[in-house]
Chain A
Amino acid sequence: MNIDSIKNGIVIDHIKAKNGLEIFNALKLGELDCSVAIITNAKSKKMGRKDIIKIDKSIDLDLDILGYIDEDITINIIKDDIRVDKYHVEAPKEIVNIIKCKNPRCITSSEQELDQIFVLTDKENKKYRCKYCETLYNQN
């Protein structure tokens, strides 16, 4: 499969193999009214195997979160069968309601309607801290 197969839309490429579904969910692509394809385990010269997501519509999507999940992901914008833009997403300064604070003493543990907000406190090492209790988020 290749990216020419959609006329207008967004192709999210170079996703680590098996991570496609996580990104599909994080971007809430299931709520869109257009067709969306997840290709998993596609062959890649660079990566061996990779996942790809194709969104068959030119829409304005907030893709910031991809910078948090994986900065190597490539975004391709397709217009009239031509790739008009290609870029990577930088780690966002703030991420909202994607990851959860694990500190049992954090106010978010007792007030669950609060937004889960994490702030980028160390850009070099991509470290995020809970906005409320400042606990470092540990991806493992």
Chain B
Amino acid sequence: MRHLIDIKDLSIQEIDELIKVANDIIAHPDKYSEKCHNKKLATLFFEPSTRTRLSFEAAMMELGGNVIGFSSASSSSTAKGESVSDTIRTVGCYSDIIAMRHPKEGAPLVASIKSTVPIINAGDGGHNHPTQTLTDLLTIYREKQRLDNLTIGLCGDLKFGRTVHSLVTAMSQYKNIKFVLISPEELKIPEYLKEGVLEKNNIEYIQTDSIEDSIAKLDILYMTRVQRERFFNEEDYLRLKDYYILDKEKLKNAKDDLCIMHPLPRVNEISTEVDDDPRAAYFRQVRYGKYIRMALILKLLEIE
């Protein structure tokens, strides 16, 4: 039995296989509409995240399966002090696969140790969120028809943004990838990623604080939100939250086939005037999130 706790649990071949299946689902949805007949997905959200939960639930429903679960800790037995392990072993009696979100880092790993059914980490604090990374990879593939030979701009909070860290790690395995790391001084990418991933894999990268200076060479622009909860003081947050706002003016020199991504929800970092630009891929990205989760559920349930 396999779980997905960390994107590093998957080999590059397995990721490519998931993308292949997701592409097939998009092309032939009818073929998959009964694949999970009589199977149940439990969505255990110890902290609320409506969009991630709905994505998992929609994915299971489109596979013909059913969904049970809870959407916040107050409605679960954790509120009564039950351990993660006990909750998981109980829920494992009612379900075939579990998608779990938890505010504590490492909780899904704890869950997987005693679980009798596959566990999918749907986010554990600021730690891992592997299905977001899979979503990003499928989006890049769908929009660019490849995962190699790309110049990827990452913009915003590169210090705390876990989606950025996982994406850098995952994309560094593909050939001829270049990164443009766009952030204010305070929100630069951590040293351990620069040394442990970029430099270790001889990946070309530049660090800058200007979108305008670098936008012309990008194939992908991945925007992120600056999150209030990562800051100790409100002042720093307010100063940095609107540091980058992507608008039509900034896109003036961008390539015609640029792909603009964002893990959503957005606040101000992409002006709504960009939404109708065909290069804006962030709402398509949401849709791809459902398809890659469908592919993942099939893989972990070992359904062909």
Contacts and interface: CB of A to CB of B under 8 A. Distances in A.
Given A111-B110, A114-B110, A131-B109, A105 B103 contact: yes
A109 B104 contact: yes
A76 interface: no
A79 to B, nearest CB: 41
Looking at B102, B103, B127, the one whose CB has the most chain A CB atoms below 10 A away is: B127
Contacts of A103: 105
Contacts of B125: 105, 133
A58 B84 CA distance: 42
Contacts of B84: 107, 111
A134 B127 contact: yes
Interface string A107-140: 1111101100000000000000011111100000
B166 to A, nearest CB: 12
A105 to B, nearest CB: 5
A110 B106 CA distance: 11
Contacts of B278: none
**Chain B interface extent, by class:** 10 to 19
Nearest to A114: B110
A106 interface: yes
Nearest to B102: A107
Q: Report whether over half of chain A's contact residues are helix, strand or loop; otherwise say mixed.
A: loop
Given A105-B125, A107-B84, A113-B83, A131 B104 contact: no
Contacts of B124: 107
Contact of B109 (A109, A132, A135): A132
A1 to B, nearest CB: 46
B107 A105 contact: no
B121 to A, nearest CB: 12
Interface in B122-165: 124-127
B83 A106 contact: no
Given A105-B125, A105-B126, A133 B106 contact: yes
A110 B109 contact: no
Contacts of A110: 104
Interface string B91-111: 000000000001111110110
Interface of B: 83-84, 102-107, 109-110, 124-127
13 contacts: A105-B105, A106-B104, A107-B84, A107-B105, A110-B104, A111-B84, A111-B110, A114-B110, A130-B106, A132-B105, A132-B106, A133-B105, A134-B105
